[in-house]
Amino acid sequence: MKTKNARRFEGALGEKLPQTEVLNKNSADFSFCAPAKMFDKMQRENLNAVKSVAKAKKAITAAAELTAETYLNGNKIIFAGAGTSGRLGVLEAAECPPTFSVGYDVFDTLMAGGKSAVFKAVEGAEDDFNLGARDFKKKAKSGDILIAIAASGRTPYALGALRAAKERGNKTVFVSCSDTADTSNADIFVYLPTGAEVISGSTRLKAATATKCALNMITTMAMALSGKVYKNLMVDVKASNVKLKDRAARLIAKAAGIEKEEAVALAQKTRYNVKAAIVMAKLKVGFGKAQALLKESGGFLDKIINE
């Protein structure tokens, strides 16, 4: 039962609290639980967070298609957010280039408070609507897409970036875990109904888990739609270390149906250009011809190799 003070407090935050801020009745006794019980409660909520992503299928699919279109047109994908949401954008932007062999300028980020805020909170930065707008205007060009992230749906920095993007005619995606989110400047709203957190308001938990899943889906699907994946193979991997060079050789062997030794030789000959090595092995052509075929197909292996 709510007390008079509780009602006054909730009203002070707005007509309706974001779902990420309400109290979770399933974990009300969390601090009194033994570790094994704490684990059970968190695991149950984690599973619910992942399940919530399924409800955003249509929006995530649309966001992936729009992201692929943006990339294929030679434009950038920009993530924007604050706190945990911003860090998830940074993580996504950092991991896509080596996975899909795209330039580090293709996936970019706007982090409230700047680079230092990735490691340490910058007080007040997320509350600056105009800062979000200014940061977007400095970073973005016509044709770029903005993927704003705000678990609560009301972070001023993210909303400022969205407003600026919309006003300039850029396509916008808004990822949030709250049905109270301001979606007025979002072309696509990815709503992840994760509900109340195990620890009230701690969106680094369920909201972050679901958001990470959604961002993984958007970028992975977009890169697959852009020819960066063949079947389920990471054929555009950037072989920048020993582990990835070994993976490149295994990918070549798997996709081309050849022995590992031959794959290693082809990998070295092509300077670990996995796609070119596969074309060479499958079509029995030289490196130059393989590169020409890939250029002609826009990098899509399945347009060259019909299986």
The pLDDT of residue 124: 81
302: phi then psi, degrees, rounded to nearest 5 = -70, -10
**Cα–Cα distance, 275 to 287 (Å, whole number):** 10
Number of CB atoms found within 10 A of residue 288's CB: 10
pLDDT higher than 60, residue 184: yes
The pLDDT of residue 13: 43
**Cα–Cα distance, 135 to 184 (Å, whole number):** 20
Mean pLDDT computed over every residue of the chain: 92
The structure tokens 């250029």 sit at 295
The pLDDT of residue 15: 61
Contact (CB, 8 A) for 236 and 101: yes
Q: Which residues pair with 81 in a beta bridge?
A: 111
Q: Is 126 a catalytic residue?
A: yes
Query: Which entry of 10, 65, 69, 95 is annotated as an active-site residue?
Result: 95
Task: Specify the 3-state DSSP secondary structure of 109.
Answer: strand
pLDDT higher than 60, residue 216: yes
221: phi then psi, degrees, rounded to nearest 5 = -65, -40
pLDDT higher than 50, residue 72: yes
**Cα–Cα distance, 144 to 146 (Å, whole number):** 7
Q: What is the DSSP letter of 273?
A: -
The pLDDT of residue 125: 87
The structure tokens 């896509």 sit at 96
pLDDT higher than 70, residue 12: no
Contacts of 199 (CB under 8 A, 6+ apart): 27, 30, 205
Degrees, nearest 5: CA angle 114-53-172? 45
> What spatial distance separates the first Cα and last Cα of the chain, rounded to whole Å?
64
Q: For residue range 40-65, list pLDDT tens digits in order.
A: 999 999 999 999 999 999 999 999 99
Q: For residue range 288-302, list pLDDT tens digits in order.
A: 999 999 999 999 999
Q: For residue range 79-136, list pLDDT tens digits in order.
A: 999 999 999 999 999 999 999 999 999 999 999 999 999 998 887 889 999 999 999 9
Contacts of 89 (CB under 8 A, 6+ apart): 79, 80, 81, 109, 110, 111, 147, 149, 215
Q: Listing from the earlier edge strand, what are the strands of the sheet with 77-81? A: 107-111, 77-81, 145-149, 171-176, 188-191
Residue 78 has, within 13 A of its CA and on its CB side, a CA count of 26
pLDDT higher than 50, residue 2: no
The structure tokens 């992942």 sit at 50
Q: Is 95 a catalytic residue?
A: yes
Q: For residue range 236-267, list pLDDT tens digits in order.
A: 998 989 999 999 999 999 999 999 999 999 99
Query: Which entry of 21, 45, 126, 197 is annotated as an active-site residue?
Result: 126
Please report the DSSP string for 168-196 in residue order.
TT-EEEEEES-TT---TT-SEEEE----S
The pLDDT of residue 226: 97
Contact (CB, 8 A) for 151 and 174: no
